[in-house]
């Protein structure tokens, strides 16, 4: 009935012991399986197919000499998709084979399309995540930019309100940076800012802490769950570390690049806002500059 059909590649085995290995090798789109075979139980062979991930979804049409409802039910229970009584009408047999084969191929194509879609979605999600990371980085120094600072400060302010823990902030300004640029050029100025960013980053020990470029030669450091004393200690360590690099600056008070730091700390509460913390740090920074620069002041 099947040999000679131009749209059907037909393979068969007469030894039931070879059925599973043949199916594994050929990867058919339909399996036509007799239930009664010499020395073997057709149900057991079906179970073998269904235990193999590569054959689990392949449609199985079982053939039986009996129109037995119980045998039909058992066949479907172990994994058959269709049931025909021998010998079937050739037209019906071909129609069922073509139907099941087309449905299986459509399923494979659908699964492949879904797999491709999932991969594309994952690639898009990864790309978006990378873009978000890049959008939050300062292109010159590689640390957080103003957007990253604003987002982090708001998030930590809200978290501090829930946990009733202090939130501290440092505002750092490179002393006489305009004079440095005028004297040594913008390339040297860019390198100087990169070194300042590296100094600040090096002093941070916790993943939640953030250093960001606030604007121009100003940098901001956000310190969740950190009180004023801890923030002052960190600020002085950053200031000392930068001075110790001894980056030549003829226009500075001590002949090397230094920075002034303003420190503020608040326990976030409804009567305050994140802007209050920024304003306090900004006033402290202004006080540090007024005090002669290269120092730390608290607000």
Instruction: Please report which residue ranges of 164-227 form alpha helices under DSSP H.
Output: 177-184, 186-203
CA distance 135 to 162: 28
Q: Any catalytic annotation for residue 217?
A: yes
CB of 97 closer than 8 Å to CB of 32: yes
CB of 238 closer than 8 Å to CB of 260: no
Provide the strand spans (E) within the chain. Answer: 31-34, 36-37, 40-41, 60-64, 82-85, 167-174, 210-215, 218-224, 259-266, 296-298
CA distance 26 to 10: 10
Catalytic residue (choose from 109, 130, 183, 217): 217
Angle at 15 between CA 9 and CA 18, to 5 degrees: 70
Which residues are identified as catalytic? 217
């Amino acid at each position: 009935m099947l040999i000679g059909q131009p749209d059907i590649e037909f393979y068969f085995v007469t030894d039931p012991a070879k059925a599973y290995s043949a199916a594994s090798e050929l990867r058919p789109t339909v399996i036509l399986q007799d239930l009664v075979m010499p020395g073997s139980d057709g149900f057991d062979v079906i179970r073998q197919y269904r235990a193999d991930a590569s054959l689990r979804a392949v449609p199985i049409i079982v053939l039986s000499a009996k129109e037995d409802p119980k045998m039909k039910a058992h066949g479907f229970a172990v994994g058959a998709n269709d049931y025909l009584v021998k010998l079937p009408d050739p037209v019906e047999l071909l129609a069922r084979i073509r139907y099941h084969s087309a449905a299986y191929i459509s399923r494979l194509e659908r699964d492949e399309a879904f797999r491709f879609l999932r991969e594309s979605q994952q690639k898009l999600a990864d790309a978006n995540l990378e873009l978000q990371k890049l959008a939050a980085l300062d292109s010159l120094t590689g640390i957080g930019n103003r957007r990253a600072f604003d987002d982090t400060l708001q998030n930590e302010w809200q978290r501090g309100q829930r946990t009733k823990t202090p939130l501290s902030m440092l505002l750092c300004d490179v002393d006489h940076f305009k004079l440095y640029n005028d004297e040594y050029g913008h390339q040297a100025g860019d390198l100087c800012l990169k070194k300042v960013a590296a100094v600040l980053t090096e002093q941070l020990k916790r993943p939640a802490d953030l250093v960001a470029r606030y604007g121009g030669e100003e940098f901001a450091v956000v310190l969740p769950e950190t009180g004023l004393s801890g923030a002052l200690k960190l600020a002085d360590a950053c200031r000392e570390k930068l001075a110790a690099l001894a980056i030549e600056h003829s226009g500075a008070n001590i002949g090397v690049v230094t920075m002034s730091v303003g420190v503020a700390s608040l326990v976030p509460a409804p009567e305050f806002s994140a802007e209050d913390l920024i304003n306090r740090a900004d006033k402290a920074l202004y006080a540090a500059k007024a005090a002669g620069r290269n120092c730390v002041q608290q607000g």
